[in-house]
Structure 1
Amino acid sequence: MASTHNFRKLAIWKDGIQIAKETYATTKIFPKSEVYGLCSQMQRSAVSIPSNIAEGTARSTNKHFIQYLENALGSAYEWETQLIIAFEVGYVSEKTYTHLETKINKIQAMISKFIDGLSQN
């Protein structure tokens, strides 16, 4: 079965874009010594989430689309780990951490549910 999704209309893609935007805003306050470290890692992980979703929509089958969604999900978990590290070393406040953790957990659940739905088709 062909994948016929317009990534711009997918809530998981839109939420991924929001996480990427918030990541850039959040990492601006990190120490300059982290520019090529945690800042870069978090930004790349965040950008990878919607990018993989978008790329997956171009694939010819749901099976192939699912592979890209799994990559996006992996990036979401990678990003969550980086957020935990940023919080634990004092780069983000507890308020910011809680806000972003809630958002990433929502995205993870949405991507997982989307994968489950595609798997049944």
Structure 2
Amino acid sequence: MTYSYEKLDVYKLSMAFAYDVYQTVSSFPDYEKFGLSSQLRRAVISVPSNIAEGSGRQHKKEYAQFLFLSKGSLREVITQLELSMMLGYIDQETHEKLRETADRLHRMLNRLIASLKVSPD
């Protein structure tokens, strides 16, 4: 079964979220280039990447597993954004905006996973 992941709202939002996080970390201090900013970039791009990779799997159970990986990466991003705010790299407003998007993505991933479990292969 092949999924057209580019048409999924969750994929589109995850790409926009990745873009926003990339823009945000570009203002981090230079000494974080190989630290927190690098880790944030890796984690945030993993969200849409796992949606895309999973959509190419043969079975829905495999696809769902990749969506669970996306959820895990999203939790990583949330944690790292929280630390970024604590360290003063991002302000509260930026953190709240990104957190709202992350929460929305989480709900969308949950709905997509649920839809894969109830529909036949």
TM-score (norm 2): 0.95
Aligned position for 1:67: 65
Per-residue Cα deviation, 1:80-119 (whole angstroms, up to 9, x for no partner): 0101110111100111011000000000111011111111
Taking the TM superposition and a 5 Å limit, the aligned residue runs for 1:58-97 are: 58-97=56-95
Matches of residues 20-99 of structure 1 in structure 2 within 5 Å? 20-99=18-97
Matches within 5 A, 1:5-24: 5-24=3-22
For 1:118 and 1:34, the matched residues in 2 are separated by 39
Distance (Å, rounded) in 2 between the aligned partners of 1:40 and 1:25: 12
- Take 2:81 and 2:23, find their aligned partners in 1: how far apart are those partners? 13
Q: Percent same amino acid among aligned pairs?
A: 34
Structure 2: 5+ residue stretches without partners: none
> Which residue of structure 2 lines up, in the alignment, with residue 111 of structure 1?
109
Where structure 1 has 5 or more consecutive residues not aligned to the other structure, the ranges are: none
Q: Aligned partners of 1:42 and 1:19: how far apart in 2?
A: 12
Name the amino acid aligned to 1:8.
E
Number of aligned residues: 119
Which of structure 1's runs of 4+ aligned residues deviate more than 2 A?
A: none
